[in-house]
Chains A and B, each alone.
Chain A
Amino acid sequence: MSEVLGVALLGAAHTPHAMSYARCFANDPATTLVGVYDSDAELGARVAERFGTTHHTDLGELLDRDGLDAVVVCSATAEHRALVEAAAGRGLHVLCEKPIATTVEDAVAMIDTCERHGVQLHVAFVCRFYPVVARVRDLIESGAIGDVIGMVGGNRGRPPLPPQYPSWITDTALAGGGSLIDHSVHVVDAMRHVTGREVTRVHAEVDDRFWQSGVDDMAALTIEFGGGAVASVDPSWSVPAGHPWSYDFFLRVVGTAGAISIDDTPEALRVSIAGEGMRLVPFGVDIDAEMCAAFAASITAGELQRPCADGVDGLRALEVALAGYESAATGTTVALGADRSR
């Protein structure tokens, strides 16, 4: 392994995130962006050109290049598995966009394959990299609020519709669903991360009343965690155009001895431009850059560095999202964890 880690981007269909991660790996002196693969030549070329690297429409050709240590996978969710397994087969470490997959079967196969080839599998749960989330985890770990009793969290946003977003995100076959799977995984992962607890039961109400995009755009998940804590999660694409913020992330936690409340929206300037209304312009840390740097540091260290999320973390959050869809389809509460193979 050379001193500077070579990272390739496999799949750019999750375009805003692909662009952001490519920027992070290109800018970090510890990493270099070796190349970009996408079966869509135009998209691959666009991303590669932006960061002064080469693009490939032949996956094997990119994976055979010298100086490659790791990949970041940003394809459509249903295509994660093929790319992750191809990279793992070449001994390359993987950072995979969330959600990890659209099915439990795919997620388990990805975890197994990476394990078999001795490579790290990270899942891009960027919310872990908010310094205030680390603070919450430390506070809970230190017993500052006693035993966790309940949580409410949300990750709401604008609908990921063209032209800013590719059309596959609102295609159930490729994305696994809509807002529920797209956003709940961030919040559920953050709840697992700060409490160290696992989800035991899920109820969800799911609907598609906001955007007529063909997939669910609103949901409310009610969740029970082992140890008795209960939680509510709002993953909805319920933010209208012109709102002061486009996406938020908030978490409230109450324990037997205290309560914590965090929200990422106040870490911003309030900016009014004549005729455009008021917008919040964030000045928080670049969590994508923090995550990409921690991925590189984990590879150098030979093991996952805190607070990186691994494949099992990706699987657990996916299980909750899929249980949410099952609950909505059946009108029942869905139990989790009894028949896990991993």
Chain B
Amino acid sequence: MVSDLRVGIVGAGYIAGAHAGGYAALPGVEIVAIADPVEAKATALAARVGARPVTSLAELLTLDVDAVSVCTPTPTHSSLVLEALAAGCHVLCEKPIALTLAEADRIVAAADAASTQVMIGHVSRFEPDHRRAQELVAAGRLGQLHMSSQSITSSAPGWSERGWLTDPQLSGGPIVDLAVHSFDYLAWLHRSEPVRVSAFASDTAAGPSTYAVVTLRFADGAIGTVETSWAHPPAHGLQVVTEVAGSAGRLDWTYSGVSLGSLVTSDGAVTHLDPLGSRGFRAEIAAFVAAIRDNTAVPVPPAAGRAALRTALAALESVRLGCPIDLVQERAA
């Protein structure tokens, strides 16, 4: 198939690799270039997917691309998204949308004004487990939703360039970088946004507020809880526990519970066979590409990314002030 969509990826780190895998799996999509100021990283990822390494978005935008994935540290998101939009590109911006509501607002406004689209990479919505649960909820199988909870726990991420992810000034810590997945997912399930956020957090060796429990009251009256952690030992891996209860039923699943099997070797190592793998990123990229090709609305617009960030920032504020934070209800995401 002849390529009909030329894409570029800004950033060449861990998540950029996941995006690259998603584009590479799609017929007719050509990954034109990978941009990263760290040339060795750009070169390595570019070589893997047959793209050209470049050092900046500006250079990438000279290569006639239709769409750009922004997979860079969070504080750089808004200016890169605006730069790509100004060049007439569609943009898939990694979550969280930004570190501040002001930056998120710039993205929302620029996307509204542009003829091309911006999607925020809330990959949870595309994971097969999360998606099947949402389908059941949306079909009304659980009746009216009353409660939900999600726990995503891991050790401190060690893969980021010069450790930006573990610097709360650059990433916002797990409340902003990790729990934002749950804030987006639960709001999507409930089709409602929080009106009150209460968070208690612990400082750990991974940094300030790197373990937190957050309680949400949604505008429709339902209650949600979120556990987030970078404080678990590395062997814990990434664990996800989700529960949803409604007037007519209840569902739950865990990552350990959906492991399809395990590999045990004579050195004592146990490897769980992960059924999810890269399916979430593959589906997310496919949905972004489909929206561009079909000229339909992207499934996760900037307003949804902004709403999840708003909840995360309210949780941080709740920790700081030691009291619940009331949020004025804005338009539904």
Chain A residues with CB under 8 Å of chain B are 149-150, 152, 201, 203-205, 207, 209-210, 218-224, 228-232, 234, 236, 238-240, 243, 252, 254, 256-259, 331-333
Contact, CB under 8 Å: B202 / A220? no
Determine chain B's interface SS by DSSP, over half rule.
strand
Q: Are B231 and A232 in contact (CB under 8 A)?
A: no
A152 and B227 in contact, given A207-B221, A231-B213 (Cβ under 8 angstroms): yes
- Our pick among B147, B227, B233 for the contact of A232 (Cβ within 8 Å) is B227
Q: How far apart are the CA atoms of A13 and B129 in the complex, in Å?
A: 44
B153 to chain A: closest residue by CB: A254
In the complex, chain B residues 194-252 whose Cβ is within 8 Å of any chain A Cβ? 196, 198-205, 211-217, 221-225, 227, 229, 231-233, 236, 245, 247-250
How far does the Cβ of B266 sit from chain A's closest Cβ, in whole Å?
A: 25
Look across to chain B and name the residue whose beta carbon is closest to the beta carbon of A204: B215
Cα distance A257–B323 when bound, in Å? 29
Complex Cα spacing A259 to B238, Å? 13
- Given known contacts A209-B146, A209-B221, A240-B249, what 14 new A-B pairs fall within 8 Å (CB)? A149-B231, A152-B151, A203-B200, A205-B216, A205-B217, A220-B147, A220-B223, A222-B198, A222-B213, A230-B200, A230-B201, A230-B211, A232-B215, A259-B233
| In the assembled complex, B261 has its CB within 8 A of some CB on chain A | no
Given contacts A229-B202, A256-B204, A258-B233, contact A218 B213 (CB under 8 A): no
A209 to B143, CA, bound (A): 12
Q: Could you tell me the distance in whole angstroms from the C-beta of A262 to the nearest C-beta in chain B? A: 13
Q: Which residues of A contact B227 (CB under 8 A)?
A: 150, 152, 232, 252
Partner of A333, one of B212, B222, B322: B322
Q: Determine whether the beta carbon of B211 is less than 8 Å from that of A254.
A: yes
Contact A254 B147 (CB under 8 A): no
**In the docked arrangement, what's the CA distance between A149 and B206, Å?**
12
User: Given A205, A219, A230, which contacts B202 in the complex, CB threshold below 8 Å?
Assistant: A230
Q: Interface size on B (CB < 8 Å)?
A: 42
B231 touches A150 (CB 8 A): yes
| Contact sample, A vs B, 30 pairs, CB 8 Å cutoff | A150-B202, A150-B229, A201-B200, A203-B200, A218-B147, A218-B245, A220-B215, A222-B199, A222-B215, A222-B225, A224-B200, A229-B202, A230-B200, A230-B213, A231-B213, A232-B215, A234-B149, A234-B225, A238-B146, A238-B147, A238-B245, A238-B250, A240-B248, A240-B250, A254-B232, A256-B231, A332-B323, A332-B324, A333-B198, A333-B322
Instruction: Return the chain B residue nearest A243 by Cβ.
Output: B250
CB-CB under 8 A from B222, the residues of chain A are 209
Contact A201 B322 (CB under 8 A): yes
B residues bordering A, Cβ < 8 Å? 144, 146-147, 149, 151, 153, 196, 198-205, 211-217, 221-225, 227, 229, 231-233, 236, 245, 247-250, 322-324, 326
What 5 A-B pairs have minimum CB-CB distances, sorted nearest first? A230-B200, A232-B213, A238-B245, A203-B198, A150-B211
Q: Contacts of B199 on A, CB cut-off 8 Å? A: 222
A238 to B243, CA, bound (A): 11
Complex Cα gap A207–B216 (Å): 13
Interface of A (DSSP majority class): strand
Interchain CB contact (< 8 A) of B245 among A152, A204, A232, A236:
A236
Asked whether, in the complex, the Cβ of B196 is within 8 Å of the Cβ of A331, the reply is yes
Smallest CB–CB gap between A199 and chain B, Å?
11
* Also in contact, A228 and B202, with CB within 8 A (given A218-B223, A238-B147, A333-B323): yes
Q: How far is the CB of A275 from chain B (nearest CB, A)?
A: 18
Contact between chains at B196 and A205 (CB < 8 Å) = yes
Residues of chain A lying within 8 A (CB to CB) of residue B201: 230
Question: In the complex the two chains form, is A210's CB within 8 Å of B146's CB?
Answer: yes
Q: Are A223 and B147 in contact (CB under 8 A)?
A: no
Cα separation A171 to B170 with both chains bound (whole Å): 51
Report if A256-B225 is in contact (Cβ < 8 Å); known contacts: A209-B247, A331-B196, A332-B324: no
Query: Closest B-chain residue to A206, C-beta based?
Result: B223
Chain A residues within an 8 Å CB radius of B212: 150, 230
Q: Give the residue of B147, B196, B215, B323 whose beta carbon is less than 8 angstroms from that of A236.
A: B147
Q: In the complex, how many angstroms separate the beta carbon of A53 from the nearest chain B beta carbon?
A: 40
A331 and B223 contact, CB distance less than 8 A: no
Cβ-defined partner of A239 (8 Å) among B213, B236, B250, B326: B250
Give the chain B neighbours of A257 by CB distance below 8 A.
233
A203 to B199, CA, bound (A): 9
- What residues on B are CB-neighbors of A219 within 8 Å? 223
- Decide if A149 touches B202 in the complex (CB within 8 Å): yes
Residues of chain A lying within 8 A (CB to CB) of residue B144: 209
Among residues of A, the one whose C-beta sits closest to the C-beta of B199 is: A222
**Residues in B whose Cβ lies below 8 Å from that of A254:** 153, 211, 229, 231-232
Residues of chain B contacted by A222 (CB below 8 angstroms): 198-200, 213-215, 225
Query: How far is B245's CA from A219's CA once the two chains are assembled, in angstroms?
Result: 12
Residues of B within 8 A of A218 (CB): 146-147, 223, 245
CA distance A224 to B203 in the complex (A): 13
Complex Cα gap A207–B223 (Å): 8
Contacts of A258 in B (CB 8 A): 233
Q: Which residues of B contact A223 (CB under 8 A)?
A: 200
In the complex, what residues of B have CB within 8 A of residue A220's CB?
A: 147, 149, 215, 223-225
Kindly identify which residue among A232, A234, A236, A259 contacts B236, using a CB–CB cutoff of 8 Å. Answer: A259
| B residues near A238, Cβ cutoff 8 Å | 146-147, 245, 250
**Given the complex, which residues of B lie within 8 Å of A203, measured CB to CB?**
198, 200, 215, 324
CB distance from A58 to the nearest CB of B (A): 45
Q: Which residue of A lies closest to B142 (CB)?
A: A240
Assembly CA distance A252 to B152 (angstroms): 12
Alpha-carbon distance A256/B211, docked complex (angstroms):
11
Contacts of A150 in B (CB 8 A): 202, 211-213, 227, 229, 231
**Complex contacts, A240 vs chain B, CB 8 Å:** 245, 248-250
Smallest Cβ-Cβ distance to B218: which chain A residue:
A205
Instruction: Contacts A207-B221, A238-B250, A240-B248 given; indicate if A152 touches B200 (C-beta within 8 A).
Output: no
CA A230 to CA B151, docked complex, whole Å: 14
